[in-house]
A = this chain, B = another copy of it.
Amino acid sequence: MSKTQIVAAPGKQEIVMTRDFDAPRELVYRVLTDPELRPQWWGPSYLTTTVETMDVREGGTWRFIQRDPEGNEFAFRGVYHVVDAPSQVVETFEFEGLPERHVVLETANLVEHDGVTTLTQTSVFQSVADRDGMVASGMEKGALESMERAAELLASLHVNS
């Protein structure tokens, strides 16, 4: 099973992340879109994630809050644009902790071959500077850990399903 690949090509305003999961597409889609499952894999494990809103339909909004052991809070939000189960979700993404508003357009595509589902997530930024700022923030480490946690969750769900 290949691991997560994250590509942020110089001068581009996107980050492309790819990951294969040893699970059927419907199950991967459920892990991505189920408010009960999201806190079990999203973000680094030392943070707890609370789903405040997760209304997975076109025009629906989402808002998640992460808390660290010291009680600091980090809030994220977005709006769903495309909800096409089990193959695609297009949504906006925003970290509320920035002094100005910066919105990211995220496209998650799911394709299944021979029981393996490939997630390709493309994050497009309002500028190259925004993209570079996200890379500099250390998002890669958090994203890699999220994908590992999602794979572990999928393995347990797959066995039990």
Contacts and interface: CB of A to CB of B under 8 A. Distances in A.
A125 B122 CA distance: 11
How many monomers of this chain does the complex have? Answer: 2
A134 to B, nearest CB: 14
Interface residues of A, number: 27
If over half of A's interface residues share one DSSP class (helix, strand or loop), that class is named, otherwise mixed; here it is strand
A79 B107 contact: no
Interface in A48-97: 58-61, 78-82, 84, 88, 90, 92, 94
A103 B124 CA distance: 11
B126 A101 contact: no
Interface of A: 11-14, 58-61, 78-82, 84, 88, 90, 92, 94, 101, 103, 105, 107, 122, 124-127
